[in-house]
Amino acid sequence: MNFHLIYESFLQILKGLGASLEIIIISLLLGLILSIVIVMMRLTKNIVLDISSRTFVFIIRGTPLLVQIYFIYYGLAQFTAIRESFVWLVLKEPFWCGVLALTINTAAYTSEIIRSGLNSIVKGQIESATAFGMNKFQAFKRILLPQAVRQSIPAYSNEIILMIKASSLVSIITIMEMTGIARKIISKTFSPIEVFIAAGIIYLALNYLVTLVFKKIEKKYTITN
Amino acid sequence: MELLALGDTGWGDEMLRACMMTLAVSLCAMTFGLILSIPFVLMKLSSNRILKFTANFFTTVVRGIPELLIIYLFFFGSSAAIMFVASIFGHNGYIEINAFFIGAFCVGIICAAYSTEVLRGAVRAIPKGQIEASHSFGIRGKRLLFGIMIPQTLRIALPSIGNIWQLVLKDTALISVTGLVEIMRQTHVASGSTREPFLFLVTAGILYLLLTTFSNKFFMIAENNYSKGFV
């Protein structure tokens, strides 16, 4: 075991932390917004919206993230129509392709989390809220939302950890985030164990941090009597 | 569409063969992972602190580190380790280990970490009173394990095991970086030589969807079968 190499690669991989965090945070935020749209589409009585959101979630959850990344990065670039349109401004950058793929991916999973959070609330509660004279919006804001959020927090913290891990896949489309740098060091030094330890420490620390923060949030949201 | 024809003219048969390869790797990985998880479950349930710590360390590390890094570790690490052993015996030169084996091994380890958590939870979900009751009926040892504990653990864990199987199926896509010709690798090769990545990626997506949907159905039947008599 070469401790000096662990230290050296630790420092180098740490330089990719910024890129990793950028990708993770942007896609989580965009994904959360998109997921709310998807949930709303599913809850409307409109059949077309309902079916299209169901199909979206089914396809994204049933295929590997790698397929989705490749599809956006290689698949869409095949068409001249796309290469000449304004979306090419986004799709020509590997960074934004990665962000787009991760956003779509997390949106599908998060929408299921939110949906099951909403489903867990007993219908009678909404009925009694209306009986107390709240309108639909008030009932949603005061009764439905707080409970749905509390219900979804543990699952969502899991989703964030999955996203941290998933962000490593964008290294395959040439983005030099932490795993990309780790891979480069491995192929240069041929000492996978040391590099693995260095990268592993950073990823584990990141996940641990997320778990800690979410434990605090969970505590804040649980009712204590 | 002609590109997807079977036979020498198209890539259809190659894609189907790659699909079978994905299924084969997944099955091997799942079997290996489930078997590997048993000792870890026992370690987690034991009262020995060292054993408990080792098992917790294993599941935390494997579940917290990106799958890709784990695959890199074993893919590059194993051939380095074997070459080192070979050099002791006087063999110098590059040795590469079978990509199928490495792939099934890596995904199996990841599967083991997740299964350990699931099975541990399932074992603990069985009320203690049942074990006490069995003891008072004189049911002990193997009969308790195979007659009472394992059937119930399986019933409780089955839905989660179905989820892990989906995870395993999708994780095998990452093995394509080691050069094993499964769906993703074949897609990459075919798109490279035909310059039609869109078509082949859609095909790959459909193949994965077929695999996940059919196994979902299978697990649903199994769940129904196992929860007979339960509401």
CB contacts under 8 A, A 52-111 vs B, are 58-59, 61-67, 70-71, 74-79
For A66, B42, B95, the CA distances from A172, given in Å and listed in that order, are 9, 37, 25
Q: What is the ipTM of this complex?
A: 0.88
Nearest to A53 by CA among A99, A106, A112, A103: A112
pLDDT at B105: 94
Average pLDDT over residues A38-44: 89
CB contacts under 8 A, B 39-68 vs A, are 60-61, 64-68
pLDDT at A214: 93
CA distance A77 to chain B (A): 8
Q: Percentage of residues in chain B with pLDDT exceeding 90?
A: 66
* 3-class state of residue A155 by DSSP: helix
Q: Which domain holds residue B172?
A: 2-226
Go through the domains of chain A in sequence order and give each one's CATH number.
Answer: 3-221 (1.10.3720.10)
Residue B3 has pLDDT above 90, yes or no: no
| CA–CA dist A103, A142 (Å, integer) | 29
Q: Which of A62, A161, A187 sits opposite B209 (nearest CB)?
A: A62
Q: Is residue B45 part of a domain?
A: yes
Mean pLDDT of chain B: 90
Q: Is residue B163 part of a domain?
A: yes
pLDDT at B114: 96
pLDDT at B96: 73
Residue A224 has pLDDT above 70, yes or no: no
Average pLDDT over residues A132-152: 87
Judged by CB atoms closer than 8 Å, whether chains meet at B69 and A190 is answered as no
Q: Percentage of residues in chain B with pLDDT exceeding 70?
A: 99
Mean pLDDT of chain A: 92
Q: Is residue B118 part of a domain?
A: yes
Q: Is residue B231 part of a domain?
A: no
Tell whether B178 lies on the interface with A, counting CB pairs under 8 A. Answer: no
Instruction: Tell me which chain A residue has its CA closest to the CA of residue B167.
Output: A64
Residue B179 has pLDDT above 90, yes or no: no
CA distance A188 to chain B (A): 12
Tell whether A5 lies on the interface with B, counting CB pairs under 8 A. Answer: no
What does the block give as tokens for B147? 């007659």
Q: Total structural domains in chain B? A: 1
pLDDT tens readout for residues B190-203: 998 888 899 999 99
pTM of the model: 0.89
CATH no. for residue B58?
Answer: 1.10.3720.10
- For chain A, how far is it from start to end, CA to CA, in angstroms? 52
For A79, B1, B5, B84, the CA distances from B9, given in Å and listed in that order, are 24, 11, 6, 44
CB contacts under 8 A, A 128-187 vs B, are 161, 164-169, 171-172, 179, 182-183, 186-187
CA distance A20 to chain B (A): 12
Residue A225 has pLDDT above 60, yes or no: no
